[in-house]
A and B are shown apart, each in its own frame.
Chain A
Amino acid sequence: MSTRTQADEAEAVRFDRDSAGIVTLVLDDPTQGANTMNAAYVASMRRAVDRLEAERDEVRGVVVTSAKQTFFAGGDLATMMLATPDDAAEVFATIEEVKRQLRALETLGRPVVAAMGGSALGGGYEIALACHHRIAVADGRSEFGLPEVSLGLLPGGGGVTRTVRMFGLQEALTNVLLRGPRMRPDRALAAGLVDELVDSVDDLVPAGRAWVLAHADADDGDDSASTQPWDRPGYRIPGGAPSSPKLAQLLPAFASHLRQQTKGAPYTAPRAIMAAAVEGAQVDVDTALRIESRYLTSLLIRQQFKDMAKALFFDVRHINAGGSRPDGPAPWRASKVAVVGAGMMGAGIACSTARAGMPVMLADVDAAAAERGTARCLDLLDKAVGRGRMSPAERDDVLASIHPTSHSSDLEGCDLLIEAVFEDLDLKHRVYRDLEPILAADALLASNTSTLPITALAKGVQRRDDFIGLHFFSPVDKMPLVEIIVGEQTSDAALARAYDFVLAIRKTPIVVNDSRGFFTSRVFGTLLMEAVGMVREGCNPVSIERATTRAGFPAPPLAMLDEVSLTLVQHIDTAAAQEPGHERPPGMDIVDRMVGDFDRRGKAAGAGFYAYPEDGQKWLWPGLWDELGCARDGDSPVPFTDMQERLTFVMTLETVRCLDEGVLRSVPDANVGSILGIGFPPLRGGALQHVNGYAGGPAGFVARAGELAAAYGDRFAPPASLVTLAEAHQTYR
């Protein structure tokens, strides 16, 4: 008979002791669909642990499990977002209480097992880490790990301290903490994050009970099952503590290696993780836990976490929940997709589509071109197999659902067309004219154009309300963003279908209204032109490139310019010049000289801002100094910090204009689109969050923009809408 009362039913952590003395703690937050470390959990777990300690003599072991679809979702981010530096004491106390409870569980002196159904990430996984044994379901889907670093936090529920003591300093940092990988069950088992796999959810608790019974009351006095390794006498950290000679040799490079990985961008979370890990390894486990709490507190109360979480958690969640999807239309799934144009982009799109279980006709002008496309798909799939993301059998299944063709008739009945041919309006119109009659009568018609206006492209089809832009990013297999572009006549129904398709292929959609350059190309262009503008002003190009990566951009702009090619940039500017009110960016002078005077067109042409020697790394072309007169040494006419701010400010201000003009429909689209599509520094939370998070908030941003405008040009003058927002003490939500 179990000892469970009515009062227990409302607990976020239910306590149930059976006649065998096994206590099952069921994590089941009564107010949410998933368990988080909210106030209800903290209070409830406290009661559960207190009761375990009081009833210890009658308890043989504990099974911790969840009644939800997932084990535990982690920290209560919404509450954490509200913490300010003034809340440090309270934040620290809460973290310490959470850990005290888990530590009590860990040192109860009885075997405690985590029986995890569904994913356990972050704080949720940290609950499991305080247990002596971890069981999961081999469902191929659930994820385990400590991804806090990706939101600007650290695993402060004991995750740093315990993984260091399980795996050693280097292994814990490299494999678990600094990158925060989310591991599926097989990989989690292999990595030691999980100890045992069962076949189904129903097997979890029985397996947990079996383990407890096998290890409870051990007669030989071996209490190892109810004691963590680090609480046993004679325990040594695997690989050594910082003072050990072997580790002492390696330690000096830890910090520098991290800085190299982040290219000097000021990410505070990885540094705090490394510090908590190393400093914790120098002391006993309880002191280590407290050091870890202080480091987590320092991240939690500051802006970088808030900025990163805004974009990478809240805005992404808003989008995935259909934030910019029209409410009315029913969910839609394509049944047969036609991808026309089997180049790099087309092949990537086809591959992503097929991996999501939708059959694809990959079409091109002739069979050879189509075959080349499927060969590219095979390359992508082989890469995925190599990385352990899919089995060879899965790869074969996916490949079998990609059908190369050069006959339009094979596209009969396709209910989604994605056109990915050359950026030529007439060519695209011909494709639509040829195919529209063959496809399904209500097929969604999409173009992967990155520059041509959707409304103009739509003129090539009959059903203009079913025409839409689906702008993918290169390389398609790696870039999660798809920019959905709504033409003048595009219907809500079409938008909803496009949205559903993007989510189905596990990418992130943003919705943008048709205009030149849409959102991503337009704002990306401002980054490139600002960088080249600084070359024109005589700045040292080495400093410009380095300012960019220091600011948190993933790649330097002159190198990226070479990648897209200088001729394409000229082409885009020529097209844009046809619009009234177009102002030619000053940097175009440099682009024109590079192409016209020096025949340097970009990476594909073998020479651009960089020289591309056959053997070895690229170098910046010496002509930038010898011919264009750029500063040598540190004597650039623009201070280094100004270089960094010009780059982020120019993108943010252009994004504000996009919002003002109705090109962008929402703030989440702006933040997520800027990070995932065009490399806006994630640590700032995206192009609009940059305004909120800037020192002094929007008012500080406006003031600084004014200074930059005075020093470098009117493009930095804050738009009226931004000035108003700042004066009203509002933020971009």
Chain B
Amino acid sequence: MADSAASTGPPAYVFDAIRTPRGRGKQSGALYEVKPVDLVVGLLRELQNRNTSLDPEGIEDVVLGCVTPVGDQGADIAKVCAVAAGLPYTTAGVQLNRFCASGLEAVNQAAQRIRSGWEDLIVAGGVESMSRVPMASDGGAWAMDPMTAFATDFVPQGISADLIATMHGWDRAACDAFATESQARAAKAAADGRFARSMLPVTDRNGLVVLDHDELVRPDTTVESLAALKPSFATIGEHGGFDSVALEKYHWIERIDHMHHAGNSSGVVDGAALVLVGSEAAGARHGLTPRARVLATALSGAEPTIMLTGPAPASRKALARAGLDVADIDLFEMNEAFAAVVKRFMRDLSVPRDITNVNGGAIAMGHPLGATGAMLLGTLIDELDRRDQRYGLVTMCVGGGMGIATVVERLA
């Protein structure tokens, strides 16, 4: 029952998906010394090294998600990287910001442009150095301007996550259990080498390795070890007034239980990712074997105060466009912004835990804001390959209440 208009354009294929390892997003992190430009240029070079038949003249655009495009990440980092990487002058570059969804948005836009028939080959992905350009460095009226905050009932995401957990009666232990599982899966996946195909080490100008693994993963995490962490949002909720704002709207809830903390929320990290998206003709021209086909993309949203429940409506919309049901999907990647958010998604769509984030998620490995969506897509396609399975869905919750989803069909 796919949308008839959507089926008329040429299919969009994913030919390759690569990423850097994720470094701790602090001064102590391994990638703190690496400029965001270099993270991307390194990947652009690697993309060409492993696809030797790819003629860069065919790359029409570099689309990069980057959520804090100031300082090191300012001035349309995508075009800057394209030039710095030695791509042809005719290769354009554009930076976009859809908050946490930016990396997936970049891929979605690339796929949509391929399907329009007007473009053939686009490199899409994202970059974020949270250690060098901290989150919220770019300001913005949503949080900073009182009238805008009043009009939009702004609350920080962590309050939304705690609200969701309270609404559904998920307690601290339940959220910490989810987080522990994410850590265990990520550690196992790394140990099994499941990321080896697509995760490329970051090296310095002398070829020395700066980072070759996801720095944040803590395999020894237990519910007990997480119990010691203090809830991160209790103070701003109770004393900063954000609980009060949320409960004006969710008036039937007596009090918000604060249970999210650094250990059951997405980690702050540095990283970059690229996905090569193109038409069948481009694939043929450049000797590229398509790995997956983008079946559908969708955007939706949730009320901005609860904010993080957008994935379900976006996923339903994308599935409808793809002509598929939830039951058809073999694997889900739902960004682990907060434990309660993934639990809510699984509940909304009736999706089992054993096919959701099977190789762990952002709680264990971190969420480099502008890049994550592209990373999740690459992880998904790799795992569909490994399992010889067919359909996968990537979805993410997003600031402002947005939801985004992409459905892919892995090609054998």
Annotate B224-250 by CB proximity to A: 1 below 8 A, 0 otherwise: 000000000000100111111101101
Q: Which of chain A's residues has its CB closest to B152's CB?
A: A255
Please tell me if B71 contacts chain A, counting CB pairs below 8 Å.
no
Q: Which of chain B's residues has its CB closest to A636's CB?
A: B252
Q: Which of chain A's residues has its CB closest to B250's CB?
A: A634
A263–B251 Cα distance when bound, in Å, is 12
Partner-contacting stretch, out of A80-88, A403-411, A539-547, A669-677 = A539-547
Instruction: Please pick, from A243, A271, A547, A632, the residue contacting B146 in the complex, using a CB distance under 8 A.
Output: A271
List A contacts of B156 (CB < 8 A): 252
Please tell me if A242 contacts chain B, counting CB pairs below 8 Å.
yes
Annotate A259-284 by CB proximity to B: 1 below 8 A, 0 otherwise: 11101100000010011001100000
A634–B253 Cα distance when bound, in Å, is 8
Do A275 and B147 touch across chains, with their CB atoms under 8 A apart? yes
Do A256 and B240 touch across chains, with their CB atoms under 8 A apart? yes
Do B144 and A251 touch across chains, with their CB atoms under 8 A apart? yes
Chain A 295-349 residues near chain B, CB threshold 8 A: none
Q: Count of B residues near A, CB < 8 Å?
A: 28
Beyond A255-B154, A256-B241, A260-B241, is A540–B252 a contact (Cβ under 8 Å)? yes
Please tell me if B155 contacts chain A, counting CB pairs below 8 Å.
yes
Do B252 and A543 touch across chains, with their CB atoms under 8 A apart? yes
Interface centre among B143, B239, B252 (most CB of A within 10 A): B252
Do B252 and A256 touch across chains, with their CB atoms under 8 A apart? no
A36–B347 Cα distance when bound, in Å, is 64
Do A251 and B150 touch across chains, with their CB atoms under 8 A apart? no
Instruction: Please pick, from A242, A248, A259, A636, the residue contacting B245 in the complex, using a CB distance under 8 A.
Output: A259
Do B150 and A255 touch across chains, with their CB atoms under 8 A apart? yes
List A contacts of B193 (CB < 8 A): none
Do B248 and A253 touch across chains, with their CB atoms under 8 A apart? no
Chain B 241-280 residues near chain A, CB threshold 8 A: 241-245, 247-248, 250-254
Do B144 and A242 touch across chains, with their CB atoms under 8 A apart? yes
List B contacts of A271 (CB < 8 A): 146-147, 150
Q: How far is the CB of A287 from chain B (nearest CB, A)?
A: 16
List B contacts of A254 (CB < 8 A): 146, 149
Instruction: Please pick, from A258, A278, A634, the residue contacting B252 in the complex, using a CB distance under 8 A.
Output: A634
Beyond A253-B242, A258-B241, A261-B241, is A546–B247 a contact (Cβ under 8 Å)? yes
Q: Which of chain A's residues has its CB closest to B142's CB?
A: A252
Please tell me if A167 contacts chain B, counting CB pairs below 8 Å.
no
Do A619 and B146 touch across chains, with their CB atoms under 8 A apart? no
Please tell me if B139 contacts chain A, counting CB pairs below 8 Å.
yes
List B contacts of A547 (CB < 8 A): 251
Annotate A646-667 by CB proximity to B: 1 below 8 A, 0 otherwise: 0000000000000000000000
Q: How far is the CB of B140 from chain A (nearest CB, A)?
A: 10
Please tell me if B145 contacts chain A, counting CB pairs below 8 Å.
yes
Annotate B283-305 by CB proximity to A: 1 below 8 A, 0 otherwise: 00000000000000000000000
Q: How far is the CB of B359 from chain A (nearest CB, A)?
A: 35
Do A278 and B251 touch across chains, with their CB atoms under 8 A apart? no
Chain A interface, DSSP helix/strand/loop, else mixed:
helix
Beyond A542-B252, A543-B251, is A252–B154 a contact (Cβ under 8 Å)? yes
Please tell me if A620 contacts chain B, counting CB pairs below 8 Å.
yes
List A contacts of B252 (CB < 8 A): 540, 542-543, 546, 631-634, 636
Do A259 and B144 touch across chains, with their CB atoms under 8 A apart? no
Do A264 and B244 touch across chains, with their CB atoms under 8 A apart? yes
Instruction: Please pick, from B145, B167, B250, B253, the residue contacting A278 in the complex, using a CB distance under 8 A.
Output: B145
List A contacts of B247 (CB < 8 A): 264, 546
A264–B241 Cα distance when bound, in Å, is 10
Do A256 and B155 touch across chains, with their CB atoms under 8 A apart? yes
Q: How far is the CB of A715 from chain B (nearest CB, A)?
A: 24
Q: Which of chain B's residues has its CB closest to A278's CB?
A: B146
Q: How far is the CB of B133 from chain A (nearest CB, A)?
A: 13
List A contacts of B251 (CB < 8 A): 542-543, 546-547, 550, 634, 640
Chain A 598-644 residues near chain B, CB threshold 8 A: 619-620, 631-634, 636, 640
A271–B253 Cα distance when bound, in Å, is 25
Do B145 and A259 touch across chains, with their CB atoms under 8 A apart? no
List A contacts of B143 (CB < 8 A): 251-252
Do B244 and A256 touch across chains, with their CB atoms under 8 A apart? yes
Chain A 224-253 residues near chain B, CB threshold 8 A: 242-243, 248, 251-253
List B contacts of A540 (CB < 8 A): 252
Annotate B109-137 by CB proximity to A: 1 below 8 A, 0 otherwise: 00000000000000000000000000010
A636–B252 Cα distance when bound, in Å, is 9
List B contacts of A259 (CB < 8 A): 150, 241, 244-245, 248
Q: How far is the CB of A689 from chain B (nearest CB, A)?
A: 24
Please tell me if A729 contacts chain B, counting CB pairs below 8 Å.
no
Q: Which of chain A's residues has its CB closest to B143's CB?
A: A252
Do B240 and A542 touch across chains, with their CB atoms under 8 A apart? no
List A contacts of B240 (CB < 8 A): 252-253, 256-257, 260
List B contacts of A640 (CB < 8 A): 251
List B contacts of A543 (CB < 8 A): 251-252
Do A253 and B147 touch across chains, with their CB atoms under 8 A apart? no
Beyond A248-B144, A279-B145, is A253–B150 a contact (Cβ under 8 Å)? no
A252–B241 Cα distance when bound, in Å, is 10
A633–B166 Cα distance when bound, in Å, is 11
Q: Which of chain B's residues has its CB closest to A268's CB?
A: B150
Do A257 and B241 touch across chains, with their CB atoms under 8 A apart? yes
A256–B245 Cα distance when bound, in Å, is 6
Q: How far is the CB of A635 from chain B (nearest CB, A)?
A: 8
Q: Which of chain A's residues has its CB closest to B240's CB?
A: A253
A278–B154 Cα distance when bound, in Å, is 17
Q: How far is the CB of B71 from chain A (nearest CB, A)?
A: 13
Q: Which 7 A-B pairs have the closest CB atoms?
A: A260-B241, A256-B241, A255-B149, A260-B244, A253-B240, A264-B248, A257-B241
Can you list 13 pairs linking A and B with CB atoms under 8 Å apart?
Answer: A242-B144, A253-B241, A253-B242, A254-B149, A256-B241, A259-B245, A260-B243, A261-B241, A271-B146, A275-B145, A542-B252, A550-B251, A633-B252
**Apart from A256-B154, A275-B145, A275-B150, 18 more pairs, CB < 8 Å:** A243-B139, A254-B149, A256-B240, A256-B244, A257-B240, A258-B146, A258-B241, A259-B150, A263-B244, A271-B147, A271-B150, A279-B145, A542-B254, A543-B252, A619-B254, A620-B254, A631-B252, A633-B252
Which B residues lie at the A interface, using CB under 8 A? Answer: 136, 139, 143-147, 149-150, 154-156, 167, 236, 239-245, 247-248, 250-254
